[in-house]
């Protein structure tokens, strides 16, 4: 028996420093689509995802919340897993960098690199903030001061371990510029890496830290913690059992077929990771793919920029498949793409409800109406049939080549081009006219059979993207499991000639744009959602986890615009956590006007009881909104700090209801 070909695909392991958002869904969905597609093709697939749980940022967040780092990450990792389950992610393995076997492997890898002479002990020189016990590089300083606390920094030196990255510069450049190999894609990223990082000179990389303890200790010198990126990148091999006993499929799946990620971490994957593997004498992954960013209001959608959109809400409202389809259809892979509720609804209405949904419901309805649900076997062909079937037959190869090159949006556009063609074929063949003439029964059956076959092929090719709804289509068009295999998408004429269809529900109901936009703007836009407590996008947190471009400034306004805001002081009478929400607190305020209730998404940053009796500032004339079934009559102001959101407080002791101007 010949062994199955393997396909190993990975997402980045995500930081559990905040809950997952649409940006994380994007990469994970792209990988899921490929994993499903390869499984359908018969590959033995290993699809790995996980979480990158160590580092100073997590340590600080946990301490701000008064929990251990492990407790802190456990909660967020559970949310990642819940989301992946909700949106149908079929990962085969989930690695957490806090898993014992991974920690053990990382220690062995570090020691191995040391023994091989690729890691050496040296001295790290940088700017040091004494109270924070943190080293910063010159470029991280803000106005020459500590970016965390704003205090003076001093020149300092510290013993640290270094990886001889510099000695790999030539080999890495050769790897990246080998066009045939296409190790890093899209090509534009290669130029960026070579011109910005390699040609200016690769320096040895500091791979240990002593300023915090939440990480993997260097086994032979345990006051040092292994640099998070060495810890994190190693996940791709430790998850297969490299240097550990937990798994034993390293030789089966490595080298990875593709490491998928967004562009901001391509540098770590295309320069540091291959160098580490070269030093370990381990083969390199076949491909690194760096896609673009989902942006919102001009910035990368990200945890610390506050502009996150809640994928649970979108999945609940429009269905998992619609969300999956929209993300993969709308974003040209490789380029950035703005997320917009309007675009999403337009796309769902036009492609799913109109084109695909109508094709299916019209076809099934006609077979039911004209033939009582079962086609007669006699056929009568015309040239136009061949025009449609030729396009359907060519589709599989087009989809495959676009999936293989990560052009999901092109693959999907091609399928929908053929679906539109089929809708036009209905108009051209006018089955309702054929139905009036009993002598045209064979012709009518031929037309309907062509439509059913088109739907069958299109739905197979769409199934890696929309795995939940396609089986319902197959049920309606009378296709057995055998007829919906990937390989059968390359043939036309697979449904039995006397196929029987079944009535079904509308798969993709039309969405009322105006109503939905009003709803979504209320709950999802960056104004005070559960995920974004203040409505004001926060600045990127400084430190080791960059979160994208600086925020764009908002347009200038006039004093009259500001005067429209009724800002007031309120005294907190009571404050409680909102049930089934880990973000929202429900405040009852003395507002000097008889009292009101306001919800604010700051539950992660405060204990409700500590807020009772304190003063806050709130917007008094914001239209009321309902969240989790509770009405919120205004917005309490807070601002982002490196430790999370903090309330804005008035000084002195103003009376409740006092105006803020």
> Are 287 and 316 a contacting pair, CB within 8 Å?
no
- Give me the least distance between CB of 301 and ligand ME8, in Å please: 4
CB-based contact 331:324 (threshold 8 Å) = no
Which of these ranges, 13-21, 134-142, 344-352, 430-438, lies near ligand ME8 under the rule CB under 6 A? Answer: 13-21
Measured from the CB atom, the residue of 300 and 326 that comes closer to ligand ME8 is: 300
Q: In angstroms, give the least distance from the CB of 328 to ligand ME8.
A: 12
Query: Would you say 280 or 660 has its CB closer to ligand ME8?
Result: 280
- Work out how close the CB of 229 gets to ligand ME8 at its nearest, in angstroms, rounded to a whole number: 7
Nearest alpha carbon to residue 28 among 39, 17, 36, 38: 36
Rounded CA separation 238/231 (Å): 10
Q: How many C-beta atoms lie closer than 10 Å to residue 343's C-beta?
A: 13
Is the separation of the CB atoms in 213 and 225 below 8 Å? yes
Q: Alpha carbon of 25 to those of 273, 325, 405, 470, 635: distances in Å?
A: 24, 12, 19, 21, 29
- Residue 8 binds ligand ME8 (CB under 6 A): no
The least CB distance from residue 49 to ligand ME8, in Å, is 10
Nearer to ligand ME8, 12 or 306 (CB): 12
- Least gap, CB of 231 to ligand ME8 (angstroms): 9
Radius of gyration of the chain (CA): 29
Report the residue number, 117 or 298, with the smaller CB distance to ligand ME8: 298
Q: Which residue has the tokens 């790290």?
A: 124
Backbone angles phi, psi at 320, to 5 degrees: -65, -45
Residues 6+ apart with CB under 8 A from 157: 123, 124, 125
User: CA torsion sign, 629 to 633 to 639 to 641?
Assistant: negative
Closer of 27 and 396 to ligand ME8 (Cβ): 27
User: Smaller CB distance to ligand ME8: residue 265 or 435?
Assistant: 265
Nearest to 459 by CA among 489, 482, 487: 489
Which of 52, 99 has the CB closer to ligand ME8?
A: 52
Q: Which residues from 95-114 bind ligand ME8, rule CB under 6 A? A: none
Residue 23: CB minimum distance to ligand ME8, A: 2
- What span, in angstroms and rounded, lies between the C-alpha atoms of 340 and 363? 32
Q: How far is the CB of 330 from ligand ME8 (least distance, A)?
A: 12
Binding to ligand ME8 (CB under 6 A): which residues in 216-255? Answer: 232-233, 235
Q: Is 431 in the site for ligand ME8 (CB under 6 A)?
A: no
- CB closer to ligand ME8, 105 vs 469: 105
- Binding flag, residue 215, ligand ME8 (CB under 6 A): no
Q: Which residue is nearest to ligand ME8 (CB)?
A: 23
Euclidean distance between CA atoms 293 and 206, whole angstroms: 28
Query: Rounded distance, CA 295 to CA 486, Å?
Result: 34
Phi and psi, residue 135, nearest 5°? -90, 140
- Of 8, 9, 19, 26, which lies in the binding site for ligand ME8, with binding defined by CB under 6 A? 26
Site stretch for ligand ME8 (CB under 6 A), options 20-28, 67-75, 349-357, 587-595: 20-28
Residues of this chain, 148-167, that bind ligand ME8 according to CB under 6 A: none
Question: Does 13 sit near ligand ME8 (CB under 6 A)?
Answer: yes
* Alpha carbon distance 85, 104 (integer Å): 29
Q: Give the pair of three-digit tokens for residue 160.
A: 């640290």
> Closest CB to ligand ME8 among 231 and 385?
231
| Total residues interacting with ligand ME8, rule: CB under 6 A | 21
Query: Nearest distance from residue 54's CB to ligand ME8, in Å?
Result: 10
Query: Which member of 32, 52, 173, 310 binds ligand ME8 (CB under 6 A)?
Result: 52
Subset of 266-305 contacting ligand ME8 (CB under 6 A): 293-294, 300-302
Report helix, strand and coil shares of the chain as percent, to nearest 5: 45, 20, 40
Q: Under the criterion CB under 6 A, does residue 23 sit at the interface with ligand ME8?
A: yes
Q: Which of 265, 282, 441, 577 is in the footprint of ligand ME8 by CB under 6 A?
A: 265
List the end-to-end C-alpha distance of the chain, in Å, as a whole number: 79
Closest CA to 608 of 583, 578, 576: 576
Stretch touching ligand ME8 by CB under 6 A, among 11-19, 281-289, 475-483, 582-590: 11-19
- Of the candidate residues 27, 304, 454, 534, the single one contacting ligand ME8 (CB under 6 A): 27
Rounded Cα gap, residues 44 and 39, in angstroms:
7
**Which listed range, 256-264, 477-485, 526-534, 557-565, lies at the site for ligand ME8 (CB under 6 A)?**
256-264
Q: Give the helix/strand (H/E) hosting 75.
A: helix 69-86
Q: How many residues are present in the chain?
A: 661
Q: Give the C-alpha separation, 620 to 633, whole Å.
A: 7
Report how far residue 553's alpha carbon sits from residue 533's, in angstroms, rounded to the nearest whole number. Answer: 19
- Closer CB to ligand ME8, residue 188 or residue 350? 188
Q: Which is nearer to ligand ME8, 106 or 603 (CB)?
A: 106
Position among 261, 271, 444, 620 found at the interface with ligand ME8 (CB under 6 A): 261
For residues 165 and 604, give the distance between their C-alpha atoms in angstroms, rounded to a whole number: 39
Q: Whose Cβ is closer to ligand ME8: residue 301's or residue 353's?
A: 301
Token pair in block for residue 530: 């559960």
Q: Which CB sits closer to ligand ME8, 27 or 600? A: 27
**C-beta of 308 vs 465, nearer to ligand ME8:** 308
Pick one of 9, 24, 198, 425: the residue that binds ligand ME8 (CB under 6 A): 24
Secondary element (H or E) of residue 129: strand 119-129
613, 572 in Cβ contact below 8 A? yes
Residues that bind ligand ME8 (CB under 6 A): 12-15, 23-24, 26-27, 52, 232-233, 235, 261-262, 264-265, 293-294, 300-302
């Amino acid at each position: 028996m010949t062994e199955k070909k393997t396909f190993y695909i990975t997402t980045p392991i995500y930081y559990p420093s905040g809950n997952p958002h649409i940006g994380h869904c994007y990469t994970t969905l792209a990988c899921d689509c490929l994993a499903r597609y390869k499984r359908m093709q018969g590959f033995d697939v290993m699809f790995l995802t996980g979480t990158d749980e160590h580092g100073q940022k997590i340590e600080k967040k946990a301490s701000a919340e008064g929990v251990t780092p492990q407790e802190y990450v456990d909660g967020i990792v559970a949310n990642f897993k819940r989301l992946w389950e909700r949106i149908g992610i079929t990962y085969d393995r989930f690695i957490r960098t806090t898993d014992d076997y991974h920690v053990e492997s990382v220690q062995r890898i570090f020691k191995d690199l040391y023994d091989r002479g690729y890691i050496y002990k040296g001295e790290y020189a940088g700017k040091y903030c004494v109270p924070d016990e943190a080293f910063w590089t010159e470029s991280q300083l803000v106005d020459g001061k500590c970016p965390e606390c704003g205090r003076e920094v001093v020149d300092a030196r510290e013993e640290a371990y270094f990886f001889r990255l510099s000695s790999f510069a030539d080999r890495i450049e050769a790897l990246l510029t080998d066009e045939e190999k296409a190790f890093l894609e899209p090509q534009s990223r290669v130029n960026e890496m070579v011109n910005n990082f390699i040609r200016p000179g690769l320096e040895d990389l500091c791979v240990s830290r002593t300023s915090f303890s939440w990480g993997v200790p260097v086994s032979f010198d345990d006051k040092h913690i292994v640099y998070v990126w060495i810890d994190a990148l190693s996940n791709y091999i430790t998850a297969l059992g490299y240097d550990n006993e937990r798994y034993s499929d390293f030789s089966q799946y490595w080298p990875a077929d593709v490491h998928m990620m967004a562009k901001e971490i391509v540098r770590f994957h295309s320069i540091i990771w291959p160098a580490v593997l070269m030093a370990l004498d381990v083969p390199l992954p076949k491909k690194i793919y760096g896609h673009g960013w989902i942006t919102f209001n001009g910035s990368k959608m990200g945890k610390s920029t506050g502009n996150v959109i809640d994928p649970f809400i979108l999945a609940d409202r429009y269905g998992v498949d619609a969300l999956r389809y929209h993300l993969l259809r709308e974003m040209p892979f490789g380029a950035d793409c703005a997320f917009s509720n309007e675009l999403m609804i337009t796309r769902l209405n036009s492609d799913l409800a109109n084109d695909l949904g109508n094709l299916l419901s019209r076809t099934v309805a006609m077979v039911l109406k004209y033939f009582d649900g079962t086609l007669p076997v006699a056929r009568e062909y015309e040239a136009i049939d061949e025009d449609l079937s030729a396009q359907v037959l060519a589709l599989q190869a087009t989809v495959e080549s676009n999936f293989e090159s990560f052009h999901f949006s092109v693959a999907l556009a091609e399928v929908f081009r053929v679906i539109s063609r089929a809708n036009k074929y209905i108009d051209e063949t006018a089955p309702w006219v054929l139905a009036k003439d009993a002598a045209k029964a064979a012709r009518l059956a031929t037309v309907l059979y062509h439509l059913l076959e088109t739907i069958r092929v299109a739905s197979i090719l769409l199934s890696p993207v929309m795995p939940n709804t396609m089986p319902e289509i197959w049920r309606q068009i009378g296709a057995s499991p055998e007829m919906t295999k990937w390989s059968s998408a390359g043939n036309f004429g697979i449904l039995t000639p006397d196929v029987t269809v079944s009535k079904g529900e509308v798969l993709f109901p039309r969405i009322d744009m105006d109503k939905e936009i009003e709803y979504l703007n209320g709950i999802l836009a960056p104004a005070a959602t559960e995920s974004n407590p203040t409505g004001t996008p926060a600045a990127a947190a400084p430190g080791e986890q960059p979160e994208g471009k600086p925020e764009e400034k908002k347009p200038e306004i006039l004093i009259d615009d500001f005067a429209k805001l009724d800002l007031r002081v309120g005294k907190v009478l009571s404050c409680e956590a909102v049930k089934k929400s880990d973000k929202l607190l429900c405040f009852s305020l003395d507002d000097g006007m008889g009292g009101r209730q306001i919800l604010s998404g700051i539950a992660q940053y405060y204990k409700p009881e500590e807020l009772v009796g304190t003063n806050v500032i709130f917007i008094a004339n914001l239209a009321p909104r309902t969240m989790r079934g509770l009405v919120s009559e205004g917005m309490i102001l807070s601002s982002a700090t490196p430790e999370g959101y903090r309330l804005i407080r008035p000084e002195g002791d103003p009376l409740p209801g006092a105006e803020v101007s």
